[in-house]
Every structure is written in C-alpha cells, then in structure tokens.
Amino acid sequence: AQKITQTQPGMFVQEKEAVTLDCTYDTSDPSYGLFWYKQPSSGEMIFLIYQGSYDQQNATEGRYSLNFQKARKSANLVISASQLGDSAMYFCAMREWTGNQFYFGTGTSLTVIP
Amino acid sequence: NAGVTQTPKFQVLKTGQSMTLQCAQDMNHEYMSWYRQDPGMGLRLIHYSVGAGITDQGEVPNGYNVSRSTTEDFPLRLLSAAPSQTSVYFCASSTRGDLGQPQHFGDGTRLSIL
C-alpha cells in the first residue's frame, strides 16, 4: 500500500487565487511528521512546511498552510495568493517515528496562470 | 554553507560501465539517503543509512550499492549501468530522533545510460 498518495498529477490556478494540493497518507504509527517540498524547474528540492501528528493547530508558513485532518489521514497544502513563481512540482512526504525513512508521493505539478 | 554536496552534476555512461555518485554533508546528520526521480513516479528510495557503518535497502535497491564509513559521506555505486538506471539522483540528509527536521537535499545528479 502506498504510504503517501497525491491524486492530482497537474493543477492550474489563476495568479492571486488560492489553491489546494491534496495529500493522503497511510500509517499505523501514532507518531509521525508530514512535510511538503517544492521542486521548481531548476530541480532543487525546497522544504516548505511541516506538521507533526500531535500538533493541535494547522501549520502555517507565510502563504503556505497545511490543512491537517488526522481522522481522514489527509495533509493538504494550501497556497494563498498564488504567484507565477509558485509554478513547480510539489511533493508531500511523511516520516514515521519508527523506521526513520521518508516516504514521498508522486507529486503534483502546479501551473500558475497570469 | 555547503549543506549536501553531490558530484557530479551530470554524467553519461555506457551500458555495463560502473561509477560512483558522491554525496557529502557537513551538518553532522546521522540519516542519509539516496533517491531516484523519474517522471510521474516521484522520489523513490534506493538506499538509506542511519549512521556510520549502518545501511539498509529502500524501495528500489537492485543494481546499486552503498557504504557509510563516515558520518559525512554516503556514496552510491552503480555496479553495471543499465539504460533503466537513467534518472535524476538525489542525496538527502537529516537528523535522527527529531520528526520535525526535514531532509536537506543535494542539487541532484542527472545520469544518462546509453
């Protein structure tokens, strides 16, 4: 079974609009962390935001927020006020307390339209 | 401020050749890993290490070898290159025991096998 599922291969959003990128995860470990990374066309992996399984509040980092719904096992990334520079691949990842590995989804390609 | 350094950035090999992709980090991270990235498949874990002298297989280990003799270095060896190993390879590192710490990535190695 996939540990991380991203069901949106590609997404389009109008500049200045908000967009939600979906991520669901699968784990039986009660302690885990969820991450989002951005990969622009230049190829580097940029860490965006983190949510811990015991965190009571949704994580926010500037224009990025994480809509964490623990019971549904979802950790959607919300980008507010999209900018042209947000066009990139976005990856959701999870790390369990036991095992140390990071599990990545297949990514979502976001295109911001002027 | 080096972080994770991968060399080379680009490489072309002939089928059957062997080579080593180098990865070094200067953050004293215990956890290091190698991924390959192929279109539509996200990041797939090849091998990982939780400390010097300790390595383990990831999702796609066949055809690759690793060793971890020091905390800083985690080379990836292709034993006999095959066209199916044409990919972009990323090395990453992180601390252990702190779920909130993201992985730091190198800039990647673009490898083509002819």
pLDDT in tens, A22-59: 999 999 999 999 999 999 999 999 999 999 999 999 99
* Mutation target among A31, A42, A45, A103 for the B interface, most CBs of B within 10 A: A45
In total, the C-beta contacts within 8 angstroms joining chain A to chain B are: 55
Judge whether A61 and A44 are in contact, CB under 8 Å.
no
Task: With beta carbons under 8 A apart, name residues in chain A contacting B96.
Answer: 100
Task: With beta carbons under 8 A apart, name residues in chain A contacting B35.
Answer: 104
Q: Is the confidence at residue B12, as pLDDT, over 90?
A: yes
pLDDT at B2 (0 to 100): 74
Judge whether A23 and A76 are in contact, CB under 8 Å.
yes
Token pair of A20 as six digits: 């939600």
Residue B44: C-alpha distances to residues A14, A38, A52, B36, B64 (Å): 31, 16, 23, 5, 13
B39 and A CB contact within 8 Å: no
A68 and B CB contact within 8 Å: no
The tens digit of pLDDT for each residue in B64-114 reads 999 999 999 999 999 999 999 999 999 999 998 788 889 999 999 999 999
pLDDT at B13 (0 to 100): 95
* Mutation target among B29, B41, B43, B57 for the A interface, most CBs of A within 10 A: B43
Q: Are residues A102 and B88, on separate chains, in Cβ contact within 8 Å?
A: no
Q: Are residues A47 and B102, on separate chains, in Cβ contact within 8 Å?
A: yes
Cite the beta strand spans of chain B per DSSP E. 4-7, 10-13, 19-25, 31-38, 42-51, 54-57, 64-66, 76-78, 87-94, 104-105, 109-113
Q: Is the confidence at residue B1, as pLDDT, over 70?
A: no
**Omega of the bond prior to A30 within 30 degrees of 0, cis?**
no
Token pair of A4 as six digits: 């991380």
Judge whether A111 and A12 are in contact, CB under 8 Å.
yes
Q: Give the end-to-end CA distance of chain A in Å, rounded to a whole number.
A: 38
pLDDT at A100 (0 to 100): 75
Token pair of A26 as six digits: 């699968």
Shortest distance between the Cα of B95 and any Cα of chain A, in A, equals 9
A57 and B CB contact within 8 Å: no
Q: Is the confidence at residue A78, as pLDDT, over 90?
A: yes
